Structure 1
Amino acid sequence: MSDFLLVDDDAAFSRMLMRVLLRRGFSIACAANGSDALQQAMQLQPARIVLDLNLGGDSGLKLLPQLREAAPDAAIVVLTGYASIATAVEAIKLGAIQYLAKPAAVEAILAAFGQQAANPDLALAEMPMSLKRISWEHLQRVLAEHEGNVSATARSLKMHRRTLQRMLAKRPVAG
């Protein structure tokens, strides 16, 4: 049994996280794609899985249920460089215990595994989301509803596909 399975196609991030976790006494396995992740999850039965949302163009959300099946006792935390409410909700529905935006500190990742229930004492955000952020979140939700199909999403939103692609290529708008 392994303490952690890191599933991320970013080799530099995986190496850094692996070094820090090894120094803290954890045993770690790494996978850079979905098939390796599933194979290692079945063999090692890790206690914790850190799953990147974007695996070289493949969706970590599609892999999440398969990982839950391969390692049913594992707690899964999803990491992403493009956080959105829609994908966070979907990840939790699919069995993740937490969803963190990259770059996430090791302390935040470890804390996410420690918190397996809602914490009503957490402070609320002081500022409501901006209109640009709300729009970006809506695009992400509709995209998730269409399983990442940009053409179907554009049709649903009644906009040109290229316009949607340009909007999706931008980094998320802060708050």
Structure 2
Amino acid sequence: MSDNRLLLIIEDDTAFARTLSRSFERRNYTVLHADSLDAAENLLKQHAPRYAVVDLKLNGNASGLACVQLLRQHVPDMLIVVLTGFASIATAVEAVKLGACQYLAKPSNTDDIEAAFGHIAGVAEPELTARSTSIKTLEWERIHEVLVESDFNISEAARRLGMHRRTLARKLSKQQVR
């Protein structure tokens, strides 16, 4: 099934996914929902969506960046927007390198996401924040950078970071401190 208005939402927060789905359905999109990388892979066997919205952090310490990679392999011209409550420069750069057309911090609404699908080229006037980067944020960015470098292998990332695997898993399960 290939449809110009077919949208895949990869989000583990069921309530948010349902709200986002309804909002896009009101805009005449056909919406598919997956709550994990495996569920997304199963949907891609039967469908070729034109659009995708991917949460950066999924249950079980799964990364949305792995989903971006998977989506790009199955549908090379898909427009992918990564949503996150854990925004960082490192993950934004990686998401775009892996094929996302935009990277948005939560909360983002349907208008923001739809605008992001239509905005592929760079912006000369990006929105800048005056907030300085905290040590916790820098740590979070470094952890995600190493996760990407180690193909999301937690044991390997922990070794490269010089910490125990369980310590890294605990850090990943916590919400980012801003």
Q: TM-score, normalised by structure 1?
A: 0.81
Query: Distance between the aligned counterparts of 1:101 and 1:22, measured in 2?
Result: 22
Q: CA 1:39–1:169 in 2, change beyond 3 Å: closer, same or farther? A: closer
Identity of aligned residues (%): 46
Aligned to 1:29: 32
In the other structure, the counterpart of 1:49 is 52
* Residue aligning to 2:72: 68
TM-superposition CA deviations, 1:52-107 (whole Å, max 9, x none): 23343233322323322322232011123333322222211111111223332222
Radius of gyration: which is bigger? 1
Q: Unaligned stretches of 5+ in structure 1?
A: none
**What SS does structure 2 have at the residue aligned with 1:46?**
coil
2:136 aligns to what? 132
List per-residue Cα deviations over 1:100-133 (Å, max 9, x = no partner).
2333222221121121011011232223312332
The change in CA–CA distance for 1:37 and 1:79 in structure 2 (over 3 A counts) is same
| Match of residue 20 from structure 2 | 17
1:172 is aligned, of 149, 153, 176, to: 176
Counterparts of residues 90-169 of structure 1 (less than 5 Å): 90-169=94-173
Judge conservation of contact 1:85–1:141 (CA < 8 Å) in 2: no
Paired letter, 1:81: G
Structure 1 residues 24 and 148: alpha-carbon distance in aligned structure 2, compared to 1, 3 A threshold? same
- Does structure 1 retain, via aligned residues, the 8 Å contact 2:136–2:176? no
CA gap 1:33/1:159 in 2 versus in 1, 3 angstroms: closer
Q: Partner amino acid for 1:19?
A: R
- Aligned equivalents of 1:162, 1:66: Cα separation in 2: 26
Following the alignment from structure 1 to structure 2, what is the Cα–Cα distance between the partners of residues 50 and 12? 15
User: 5+ residue gaps in structure 2?
Assistant: none
Question: Structure 1 stretch 65-74 or stretch 14-23: which is displaced more?
Answer: 65-74
